[in-house]
Chain A
Amino acid sequence: MYRGGPGMLAWALHRITGVAILLFLFVHIVETAMLMYGPEAYNKAIELYRQPWFKPLEFLLVAAVVYHAGNGIVVLILDLFPYATRWYRTLFWVGAAVYVVVMVPVAVIMLRSLFAP
């Protein structure tokens, strides 16, 4: 399962998305702490998220969280039912299909402001 197949890709992506989400969490905690300095300070801090160039990054963050959650659920299924490992490839591709179906509308909703001002 971890020999260069989809399982290894899923495992590597789980680590990469996990670290990326953790790094954003630090930024998010500091930026939210700006609430303590009043409206001007907080609104100035979150101005970053309103920049058009940040929109794709915001979408990537959501995409990373949804991937990490989805793959985490797959890991949980395999932990609870080790026998399901036999159908890992099927599980992987079903998960990938569900992921695309979920992320396409999310992309449209999150990125539409870039195309329709």
Chain B
Amino acid sequence: MEARRVRPNGWEWMSWLYMRVSAVLLVFLVLGHLYIMHIVNSTDTIDFAFVAQRLANPIWRVYDLLILLLALSHGLNGLRGIVNDYTRPGGPWRLVWNVALWTVGLVFTLLGALVLFSFNPSAFARP
């Protein structure tokens, strides 16, 4: 293979590589998710009961957890790339953005994972 043109330093190269690796996984995971939810099924029929039945299978919990982790990190890292194009290196705005991106990433990862790990539909079963 040709020598890497993008290699400012180890960290940024890892980030560049991560975008490619997560992208390949996301193409299959997300397009599969869209096909199941919007082509085979529809938002007209998806409801609590549908989701409860779907998440009864741990495979779908793992599937959704993978999308959550990969899509959120891929998206926030992509946004970090945009921020880097519009802010000065070492400047205050880049720091503010980086803190915000990490905070948002952490909060939404925890919120999403909390649901996938602890959702228990039988807690709402009518007597």
Contact = CB atoms under 8 A, between A and B. Distances in A.
Given A50-B44, A113-B42, A35 B119 contact: yes
A79 B34 CA distance: 27
B47 to A, nearest CB: 5
Main SS of the interface on chain A? helix
A43 B27 contact: no
B76 interface: yes
Contacts, number: 90
Interface string B20-55: 100110110011001000110011101111010000
Contacts of B59: none
A46 to B, nearest CB: 7
A72 interface: yes
Interface of A: 15, 18-19, 21-22, 25-26, 29-30, 32-33, 35-36, 38-39, 42-43, 46, 49-50, 54, 58, 62, 65-66, 69, 72-73, 76, 79-80, 82, 106, 109-110, 113
